[in-house]
Chain A
């Protein structure tokens, strides 16, 4: 049964914010973060699981044999646990995003979704295959609900596979499908929400103050539906029509007890007032000041034009040649007369409108910012969300989930169009991905710039973002491989910021961004192209860490599972500590706070890190390891006492140590372990 979109008559907030800053964010300088195919001297590529601190050279990802199911593979510092092809109608149809619940990985596909039991990661088995076509079929789970996005024109309310021929049709579904998966073998479609632009992706947000409902942010980037198909959808810019679907995201409230009543509750204009990528938000004072400036300038004879409802002063560099043309046109010479100036003033509105591509003078000037977000990652534990919205990375306050508000924005002078956002666990960094080429194009060729199609890493302090660096897959890929930064998640190695990310046919890349200015690859997997002779779509759409393994949805080849192997960059203890982090369910765009339960692996992981960074003297490292080992051999109160004593010693070590902060982290972990021993 369908819930239809309810038309909203929301007013445009009459923001007095200044709409134009004439200095673009020149502060973002392109930095080539990585060189391609590290050409260190030395011959053969390192074998998988090597303890070498230098990446294999030549890079084994170059020159891999092509093939759909039998392509050549290159692996570094991780191992393949399983590769499982799609089943039935899902083979030959695009696999898309992943969500997880319990032992299941739910893999979206343009034909619906497959539910995989991954309790044995070496042998995933199909639990359910649900045929219900719609692109892109991005999936999320919450308790007994599965939510699926539909955006393409062929999605049908009845899940049929015949498409929808008419441009306007009551059979079409563009928006969300909601399933009850209490019996995951028999999902039931319990509700649908139609939206104006469909749903390219969506993000589920749980409001801790509202246990009866769950919220879904919809990002729709496609064409707006006609009012004939869905009343209330309008395609005009918002200053012409306050109901316009073009400049908003939709927030849907899903009553958990009655998901069939799911409906849009608000359409926040988080894009209002966004024109130039300003370093700080324009203030009301700025706007008032600009009115005064324009008035003064006009009194002094300057030329002004209306832009976005504000009067802007044209530079003399722009105006002087125009006046000269008017003089020349009447056959005159020398300085322009008052009549010439008057003629220019009369013509200016139309001229400026033409420059900006507007047919209506007075409505000219820059449109207010991005028209939609591609993806929004919420991090409820810190009350923030990162919206990747074409030209901007937006920072949103989500303390009121039904009404997200924008508190910051960044844009890239390299013209990156951002796709998704990931926070680090502490909330002190944010990463935006530039999905240049939309995922269908080869953007990892040696000729493609390293700052395009890459990740942009920012530090985040006092809710302000500051650009630090780009990260891009270091290995060049062929022109037959669609490749660009795509979806990924944090790898829960304690004390570090490590991410695993999909790069389509670039494979998957694991990189450390603890040092935000110098991100570094530490593991990878890649296959050769699906087809060596032509660009055939394939590669990893998403790869996420879930309960000890990395799960990748491969567009053409199915489901790949991996685990990290010990290396010069990641120790066995760090891997073990990462595996202590457990999720009951996971939607990566609803970023969970990573919490490590007390364990010896956790403490040892920190010790390994201190050793790697010379953060503590070698003698102390050795002594700490012995103390941990002997504590582990004990139990009960003796163990607790030994650990408490160790923690006290570490407190003393901290002030003189190379990395006092990490020593304190270690002390804390040891103390927590002591507490659990008693």
Chain B
């Protein structure tokens, strides 16, 4: 299994002892290797504390699985398509609220792409690009098509088909708004599905940063689905009596 670490003595001890309660010494607190006195600390001392923290974080890190790697990789591609869609809002006559929403999606998902890439790089996993060009290659919706597009053999829930992307790109004004909302709802639901699949997999999302990332994607995109549904309702239904 990718990322499995042989249990170290400390982990075994922690496992054996159900509860570890340490009574503190009344003397000076045991400190990390940070020099106490001169503010002009040596570079090696600084590096030492940081290295210790990093090594500690590494060894305390829960093992990650293939499902985690798959999820983080897939999210990059998934997010990249959302960016393509959202970037059309200003040029396709979207309403102010759709434009604001699109900006927020762009900002959020760009940063999340960077997080996922960093996570993969830290673990020496292949890091997918998130270029618009790569994401112009969508998953073909026809069931019989089994060929992989360049760089992506993954079928991802909620992704727009080529036809849907074209349809969105050709729309303007309220039509763009309605299609953007409908397609982004679909897209977000796909992300939520991916999170649910991850959490249903044995061993997955033990890694704290994967758990946090997946939980945040779940929460943010679920919230946005609700908001988009409200916006869509405002768009297509008559105003009700006050």
Contacts and interface: CB of A to CB of B under 8 A. Distances in A.
Interface residues of A, number: 107
A356 B211 contact: no
B227 to A, nearest CB: 6
Contacts of A129: 21-22, 24
A354 interface: yes
A68 B46 contact: yes
A27 B239 CA distance: 17
Interface in B123-171: none
A45 interface: no
B206 A92 contact: no
Contacts of A22: 233-234, 237-240
A131 B234 contact: no
Given A160-B14, A314-B237, A356 B229 contact: yes
A441 to B, nearest CB: 4
Interface stretch (B74-82, B86-94, B101-109): B101-109
Nearest to A23: B239
A417 B50 contact: no
Contacts of B103: 449
Contacts, number: 280
Interface in A619-640: none
Nearest to A307: B233
Contact of B208 (A20, A94, A185): A94
Interface in B171-215: 174-175, 178, 181-182, 185-186, 189, 195-196, 199-206, 208-209, 211-215
Interface residues of B, number: 94
A7 interface: no
A153 B223 contact: no
Nearest to B65: A165
Contacts of B226: 366-367, 369-371, 390-391
Contact of A315 (B11, B29, B204, B237): B237
Given A23-B234, A128-B24, A535-B118, A293 B104 contact: no
Interface in B98-116: 100-101, 103-104, 107-108, 111-112, 114-115
Interface string B210-226: 01111110111011111
B185 A125 contact: no
Interface stretch (A83-91, A252-260, A462-470, A584-592): A83-91
A163 interface: yes
Contacts of A534: 118
Contacts of A68: 46, 49-50, 53
Interface in A474-532: 530-531
A59 interface: no
A438 B216 contact: yes
A91 B58 CA distance: 12
Interface in A431-485: 436-438, 440-443, 448-449, 452
A371 B222 CA distance: 8
Interface string A156-168: 0011111111110
A355 B240 contact: no
A436 B213 CA distance: 13
Interface in B1-31: 7, 10-11, 14-15, 18-26, 28-31
Contact of B240 (A18, A222, A390): A18
B218 A222 contact: yes
B55 interface: yes
A583 interface: no
A130 B175 CA distance: 58
Contact of A24 (B22, B62, B223, B234): B234
Interface in A341-368: 352, 354-357, 365-367
A70 interface: yes
Given A87-B29, A452-B107, A128 B22 contact: yes
Nearest to B24: A126
Given A85-B31, A132-B19, A286-B240, A390 B212 contact: no
A93 B57 contact: yes
Nearest to B181: A355
A131 B175 CA distance: 56
Contacts of A167: 199-204
B195 to A, nearest CB: 7
Nearest to A368: B226
A312 interface: yes
B66 interface: no
Contact of B104 (A20, A131, A452): A452
Contact of B115 (A124, A128, A440): A440
A355 B24 contact: no
Nearest to A356: B229
B111 A70 contact: no
Contact of A185 (B19, B24, B238): B24
B23 A185 contact: yes
A367 B225 contact: yes
B236 interface: yes
Nearest to A110: B208
Kindly name the residue among A151, A354, A356, A530 whose own CB sees the greatest number of chain B CB atoms within 10 A: A356
Contacts of B100: 413-415
Contact of B41 (A70, A355, A535): A70
A415 B215 contact: no
25 contacts: A24-B230, A70-B46, A91-B56, A92-B53, A111-B60, A131-B20, A135-B212, A153-B206, A154-B206, A161-B10, A165-B202, A165-B206, A167-B201, A186-B23, A189-B19, A275-B230, A289-B241, A312-B233, A355-B181, A356-B232, A371-B223, A391-B223, A414-B100, A437-B111, A438-B220
Given A166-B203, A302-B238, 10 more contacts: A22-B233, A24-B230, A24-B234, A68-B53, A128-B24, A161-B60, A167-B202, A315-B238, A413-B97, A441-B111
Interface of A: 18, 20-24, 67-70, 84-89, 91-94, 110-111, 115, 124-132, 135, 151-154, 158-167, 185-187, 189, 221-223, 226, 235, 275-276, 286, 289-290, 293, 297, 302, 305, 307, 312-315, 317-318, 321, 352, 354-357, 365-367, 369-372, 374, 390-391, 413-415, 417, 436-438, 440-443, 448-449, 452, 530-531, 534-535, 556
Interface of B: 7, 10-11, 14-15, 18-26, 28-32, 34, 41, 45-46, 49-50, 52-57, 60, 62-63, 97, 100-101, 103-104, 107-108, 111-112, 114-115, 118, 174-175, 178, 181-182, 185-186, 189, 195-196, 199-206, 208-209, 211-216, 218-220, 222-227, 229-241
